Structure 1
Amino acid sequence: MSELVRLTAIVDTPLEPDAVEAAVSGPEYGAVVVFTGKVRDHDGGQAVSALEYSAHPQADRFLHTICAEVAAAANLPVAAVHRIGALGVGDVAVTVAVAAPHRAEAFGTCAELVDRIKHEVPIWKRQRFADGMSEWVNACG
């Protein structure tokens, strides 16, 4: 694992945002930005009751590669963990952290990393709606 990629994982257990933050924190960094993507109770005007995430068998490799590319480009430490399986409203689906000497770098790099994970890591979500219907979406969080 690259020195700047401090943690990457795809897990089927509840996420611990504090552990993801701790992976990138250090006395040389004045800013640590942590993004937690949670299951919301609506999407596209429909009430969402739950989500189910599934991942390609090599999704962890994609996640690590993206983290390594973003970390190398920014020269900043990064960490990202995504959950798969059944999640309820309010559960954390993804946690991403970036540390930097200053906040602007941390915010920008974290936003870029979240966007790349969402678009490039082969993770799919099944949204279950309150009316009993469901749909699959190719998205991260």
Structure 2
Amino acid sequence: MVADPATGAVTLFVGTVRDHDPAVTGEVVALEYSAHPDAGAVLRRLADATAAHPDVLGVAVSHRVGRLVVGEPAIACAVATAHRAPAFDHCRALVEAVKAELPVWKKEVLADGSHTWVGSA
């Protein structure tokens, strides 16, 4: 929950499935995310680490699993602070931590029916 009476800024990041990957030839039509059983605990730890900063008033983060088509949200992060600059900074740091540490993998499904696995999401 990011609601707090002292909140002056909430930064929200939503990462969506796009139709291309510069490293792959072909049109991406979907991503299929799978997660390690510990992914929920890792996500909570990352959210708690962000919430522990003294200027952070609230944090919410979620990463989806399963098949997502182009345009669908895959990750959402929200961080509340008293002022906008730290809200942006902490939200970006949380997104980067999720990308680096969350044990989630994605399979890119291409228009021709082929697919490729990408390390961590």
What's the TM-score, normalizing by structure 1? 0.79
Give the drift of 1:123: 0.4
Among candidates 103, 107, 121, match of residue 84 of structure 2: 103
Unpaired runs of 5+ residues, structure 1, are: 1-22
Among candidates 36, 46, 59, match of residue 39 of structure 2: 59
CA distance in 2, matches of 1:49, 1:74: 41
- Would you say 1:28 and 2:6 are equivalent positions? yes
Hey, what does 1:81 align to over in structure 2? Answer: 62
What's the TM-score, normalizing by structure 2? 0.91
The structure where helix makes up a greater share of residues is 1
Distance 1:74 1:122, change over 3 A: farther
Counterpart residue identity of residue 66, structure 1? L
Give the drift of 1:81: 0.8
Q: Which whole-Å deviations, capped at 9, do the CAs of 1:17-74 have from their partners, x for residues lacking one?
A: xxxxxx2023311100010010001111531011100000110001111111122135
* Structure 1 contact 122–138 (Cα < 8 Å) conserved: no
Unpaired runs of 5+ residues, structure 2, are: none
Give the drift of 1:75: 4.1
Percent of residue pairs identical: 47
